[in-house]
Amino acid sequence: MVAWISGLPFRQALVRGQTGPDAPIPLDQQRQLTEDQPFYTLAVIGLPLRLAAQGGTIDELKTKTALKPNGKDRIAPADIRAFGDGDQSVRVEFLFPKANAIALGDKEVEFITKLGNVELTKKFKLADMMVGGRLAL
């Protein structure tokens, strides 16, 4: 599964999952929800360990990964982080700089990466990512 995890709705869901639906949100987590995120962060979740191992080094994976807004230049990741996600899978997070801002007029953004011989792509329709009249990226 490929998810755009830097958007406020996703971050709110994570906090609610940790605190419970009716519990007060601790101050440190409230700050995390109000602070602007410095990166667009996407995650490949549930990636089998054997496939993750084929991805090569972080630097090699950076050259094979991009965000491609419709009609704009590709955005290369600034960083890639991997986390254990159970016994047989990992979560890989890709952090893209916001210097080249993605706008609603781009209409669509494609995420592309390659792990070994497997190419992963996911298109995000920006109109579907609007919350409260703003893009939730």
Q: What is the pLDDT of residues 76-131, one digit of tens each?
A: 999 999 888 777 888 899 999 998 789 999 999 999 999 878 899 999 999 999 98
User: For residue 41, what pLDDT band results from cuts at 50, 70 and 90?
Assistant: very high
**pTM listed for this prediction:** 0.86
Q: How far apart are CA 136 and CA 13, in angstroms?
A: 13
pLDDT at 25: 78
- Tell me the backbone φ, ψ of residue 75, rounded to 5 degrees: -115, 120
As a whole number, mean pLDDT of residues 57-67 equals 91
Instruction: Report whether pLDDT(32) > 80.
Output: no
Count of other CB atoms within 10 angstroms of residue 124: 20
